Amino acid sequence: MTLRFTVAAATLLMSSVGFAAVTLTVPEEIKIVAVNDQEISGGLFRSAEKYTLNAGENVISVRYTEFFQHPDNSHDILKSGVASIRTPVLVDGQEYRLALIDAPKDFDKAQNYKDQPIFGLYNKANQLLVEQQGAKQEQKAIFSNTIFRNNLDLTKKTAAPANQPAPVYTQNTSVIVPAQKAQSVVSASDQQLIQLWQKATKVERQKFMSWLAEQSN
């Protein structure tokens, strides 16, 4: 709990008076492993999730993960390699979503799809902003990676693979040169804390930071 509040507080301290942020919805078939080289940890079993990202350009590292139940009650989990999506400039206060493009529901077809999945970033009007195809990779057995180990070291492999196809942007989007500044990402469950911080007085913020310092000792 202390670590959770510490991360949230650090995020708040990095924020300006006007917290420029966007909301990103991610389906369960897509797992975010990092945003701007910041590792994101998530549960093994989950449904769609919402994330809060800084407005502007972001680099989102994702992978395709799909669970298949067979008629004989056996199952398989297909998992792709990591693909990096460089977003266009995301507008403050807007909502976006990630989705798979042309993902098959048939297991045999999905086995081929996972080798080079296609990810799409959409705005609230359901307009495709950028399409990113994953890098072609050799097939790997998921169970050899111990799926119950949640804290995998993914931060060293978040850069776009050398053989990853170039992204396809729509005409109405723009991409800027990455700025050398701190970026942050927080889950939707931290939104209430952010709102309380923004509404708090200077004295209330000082009291909270004093309390936080005591918790970390």
Question: What would the pLDDT profile of 38-76 be if each residue is shown by its tens digit?
Answer: 988 765 445 568 899 999 999 999 999 999 988 898 889
pTM assigned to the model: 0.62
3-state secondary structure of 79: strand
Residue 162, Cβ density class (10 Å: 0-12 exposed, 13-18 middle, ≥19 buried): exposed
Higher pLDDT: 16 or 73? It is 73
- The total of structural domains in the chain comes to 1
Residue 107 lies in a domain: yes
Which one, of 60, 63, 61, lies nearest residue 145 by Cα? 63
Torsion of CA 95, 99, 101, 102, to 10 degrees: -130
Q: Which amino acid is it at 118?
A: I
Q: Mean pLDDT, to the nearest integer, of 124-152?
A: 63
Residue 7 lies in a domain: no
Q: Which of 20-29, 172-181, 193-202 has the lowest mean pLDDT?
A: 172-181
**Average pLDDT across the chain, whole number:** 75
Residue 148 lies in a domain: yes
Residue 23 lies in a domain: yes
Instruction: Indicate the pLDDT class of residue 158, thresholds 50, 70 and 90.
Output: very low
